[in-house]
């Protein structure tokens, strides 16, 4: 039997226990891989975006990322009408298309303002004088990335923007807040088309996340605070007030109104490449739905069942409404999502196996040598595949009464689109885990 051993190979960011000058503005707020996996973007609470570029794989298949460029995307704003200060925190970063070494287009947003950035590679020159000549020559020195603001999209959201979704036509994208979903054209920054708009006085639920179908220019999904997922087709009606399909969380929390508000809330949605399956993350679990049916989830993977009995503790720590990302790997067999105590979970959707992992600031050099490794393309397609943990620590057993560090939350998790690689973020640290196929 073959297995995947996940090993921590890179850590970016300062150590809070050592450096006192690290501020909250250095906290990572969003991460995203480019569609081809050559770039990794990270946004922070200070309004900055950092781009990392994939370096060549070594002989063992390890993938490394190196710093590429950094720029300030947003600054603090002040809404005079609402007398409200708008933070520079980057809520979402999305790549618009397949980037190249010479050009990368990025969508970024804080609570209010969406921006389109272009980062282009330019050659820097140095001045050189030949012996005895007074005429300078310009000699190529190094390649440098220069960010350029291409568009700033108008203020068409009354509540904080939490989702951006470039569509498959590469001409339009979606933006969403708690009550509204807008459709934009990249070329027009002063107008957009309103697809969904709920009335704040009449609505009993909020839009919590939006995701488009890969390579589609008309199908998207959105989740709500009541645990409902709606599948919409822009071609069906001029507005998407009525969904093509509904998927509902059937769990009953009516005995406790506050649990009803927090536990079912959808924080992330992903559709598999074949278009037949939805994978959904709420506060307590991962749910898998068959798009060809609407009679409840195919399977439920418990993530936070051990927290149900700690409801008062969750309320006291103000974490009831925390959101956790969900990401699928390139084969759509595995998904990754986060938890508390620096823990994140890799789940095998095919074989229904779950593996808890920990994000720690271990230096890669202290890890033991890698076991026998096998190239990805040499694995027979009919071989069963399991995952196991090779790190020198065991995942937490959440026993009753055992303390939980709610501040060490792994809310951000991303699978690389083509490699066995996971990126996670905790506080101001970005972690890269490489997966190796092994025997046994």
pLDDT (0 to 100) of residue 115: 98
The tens digit of pLDDT for each residue in 323-382 reads 999 999 999 999 999 999 999 999 999 888 888 887 764 444 333 333 333 333 333 333
133 pLDDT exceeds 60? yes
Burial 59-72 (b: 16+ CB within 10 A, else e): eebbbbbeebbebe
Measured torsion, CA atoms of residues 250, 256, 258, 261, in degrees rounded to the nearest 10? 10
Residues 6+ apart with CB under 8 A from 374: 2, 437, 438, 439
Mean predicted lDDT score pLDDT of the chain: 84
> Residue 370: what pLDDT?
30
Q: pLDDT tens digit string along 32-57?
A: 999 999 999 999 999 999 999 998 76
> Which pLDDT value is given to residue 141?
72
pLDDT tens, position by position, 370-423? 333 333 333 333 333 333 333 323 344 455 567 899 999 999 999 999 999 999
Question: Is the per-residue pLDDT at 25 higher than 80?
Answer: yes
In terms of Cβ atoms closer than 10 Å to its own Cβ (0-12, 13-18, 19+), residue 140 is exposed
Give the pLDDT of residue 382: 35
Domains and CATH numbers, the chain: 2-128+135-364+402-439 (2.130.10.10)
Range 199-204 average pLDDT: 86
pLDDT greater at residue 131 or residue 362: 131
Contacts of 198 (CB under 8 A, 6+ apart): 179, 180, 207
Q: Compute the distance between CA of residue 16 and CA of residue 69 in angstroms, rounded to an integer.
A: 23
Residue 131 token pair: 């012996």
Share of the chain above pLDDT 90, in %: 56
DSSP calls for 74-138? ---EEETTTTEEEP----EEEE-S---SSEEEEEEE-SS-EEEEEEEEEEEEEEEE-TT--SEEE
Q: Name the nearest CA neighbour of 337 among 222, 245, 422.
A: 422
Cα(296)–Cα(228) distance, integer angstroms = 11
**Rounded-to-integer distance, Cα 163 and Cα 224, Å:** 13
What integer is the mean pLDDT of 186-196? 95
Q: Which residue(s) pair with 423 in the sheet? A: 414, 432
């Amino acid at each position: 039997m073959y297995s995947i051993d996940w090993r921590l190979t890179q850590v970016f960011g300062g150590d809070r226990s050592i450096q006192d000058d690290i501020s909250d503005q250095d906290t990572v707020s969003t991460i995203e891989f480019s569609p081809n996996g050559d770039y990794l973007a990270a946004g922070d609470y200070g309004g900055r975006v950092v781009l990392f570029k994939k370096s060549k794989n070594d002989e063992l298949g390890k993938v490394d990322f190196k710093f590429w460029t950094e720029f300030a995307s947003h600054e603090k704003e002040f809404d005079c009408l609402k007398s409200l200060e708008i933070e520079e925190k980057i809520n979402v970063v999305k790549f618009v298309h397949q980037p190249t070494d010479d050009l990368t287009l990025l969508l970024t947003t804080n609570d209010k303002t969406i921006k389109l950035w272009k980062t282009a590679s330019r050659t820097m020159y140095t001045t050189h004088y030949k012996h005895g000549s007074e005429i300078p020559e310009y000699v190529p020195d190094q390649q440098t990335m220069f960010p350029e603001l291409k568009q700033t999209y108008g203020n068409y959201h009354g509540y904080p923007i939490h989702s951006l979704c470039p569509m498959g036509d590469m001409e339009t994208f979606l933006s969403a807040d708690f009550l509204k979903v807008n459709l934009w054209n990249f070329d027009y920054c002063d107008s957009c088309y309103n697809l969904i708009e709920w009335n704040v006085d009449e609505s009993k639920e909020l839009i919590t996340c939006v995701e488009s179908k890969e390579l589609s220019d008309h199908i998207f999904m959105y989740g709500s605070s009541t645990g409902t997922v709606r599948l919409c087709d822009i071609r069906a009606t001029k507005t998407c007030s009525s969904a093509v399909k509904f998927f509902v969380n059937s769990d009953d929390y009516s005995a406790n109104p506050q649990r009803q508000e927090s536990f079912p809330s959808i924080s992330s949605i992903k559709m598999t490449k074949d278009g037949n399956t939805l994978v959904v993350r709420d506060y307590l679990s991962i749910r898998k739905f068959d798009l060809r049916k609407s009679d409840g989830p195919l399977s439920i993977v418990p993530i936070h069942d051990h927290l149900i009995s700690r409801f008062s503790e969750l309320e006291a720590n103000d974490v009831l409404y925390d959101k956790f990302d969900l990401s699928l790997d390139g084969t759509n067999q595995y998904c990754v999502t986060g938890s508390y105590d620096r823990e994140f979970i890799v789940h095998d959707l095919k074989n229904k196996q779950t593996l808890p992992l920990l994000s720690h600031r271990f230096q890669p050099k202290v890890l033991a040598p890698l076991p026998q490794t096998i190239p990805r393309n040499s694995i027979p397609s009919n071989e069963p595949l399991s995952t196991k943990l090779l790190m020198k620590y065991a995942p937490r057993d959440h026993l009753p009464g055992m303390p939980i560090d709610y501040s060490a939350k792994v809310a951000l998790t991303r699978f690389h689109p083509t490699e066995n690689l996971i990126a996670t973020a905790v506080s101001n640290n970005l972690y890269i885990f490489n997966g190796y196929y092994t025997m046994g």
